């Protein structure tokens, strides 16, 4: 079965929407570590979906590396204090850029991406079988 670029993009948008909904649902019921770390992992999952949306034919490993690299770059940007300043004035900036650097987040980004890479590889392998 041939999967079209349009189908890949629709699945990426649907997946990102599900990740966002899950993040907000967890946020509504928890204000502790589950909220913080699941939000970090789900953010990374949304970034992976965004990479796949932008480049539907990218390999899962490259998409995963780009997503993790982007998340780490955003986390590193937080050291400058600029995201904190922007976040004080904008909820969107807070959601997209975060506020403060956290070493633990560096570990949670791959937790949100690696399962998607493995799933994507498995689905592609299954699709390629005769």
Nearest by Cα to 86 from 71, 105, 99: 99
Question: Which of residues 66 and 91 earns the better pLDDT score?
Answer: 66
End-to-end Cα spacing for the chain: 10
Question: What are the pLDDT digits (tens) for 53-64?
Answer: 999 999 999 999
* Mean pLDDT (the chain, rounded): 92
Domain carrying residue 63: 5-128
Q: Is the pLDDT of residue 127 over 80?
A: no
CA distances to 9, 54, 56, 62, 115 from 4, rounded to whole Å, are: 9, 14, 9, 19, 23
Q: How many residues does the chain have?
A: 130
Q: Is the pLDDT of residue 128 over 90?
A: no
pTM surpassing 0.85?
A: yes
Q: Is the pLDDT of residue 87 over 70?
A: yes
Domain count, the chain: 1
Q: Do the Cβ atoms of 61 and 117 come closer than 8 Å?
A: yes
């Amino acid at each position: 079965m041939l999967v079209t670029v349009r189908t890949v993009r629709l699945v990426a948008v649907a997946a990102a929407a599900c990740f966002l909904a899950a993040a907000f649902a967890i946020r509504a019921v928890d204000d502790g570590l589950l909220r913080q770390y699941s939000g970090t992992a789900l953010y990374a999952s949304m970034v992976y979906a965004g990479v796949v949306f932008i480049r539907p034919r990218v390999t899962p490993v490259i998409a995963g590396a780009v997503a993790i690299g982007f998340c780490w770059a955003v986390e590193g940007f937080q050291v400058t204090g600029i995201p904190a300043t922007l976040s004080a004035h904008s909820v969107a900036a807070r959601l997209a850029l975060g506020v403060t650097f956290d070493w633990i987040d560096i570990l949670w980004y791959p937790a949100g991406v690696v399962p998607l890479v493995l799933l994507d590889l498995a689905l592609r392998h299954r699709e390629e079988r005769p």
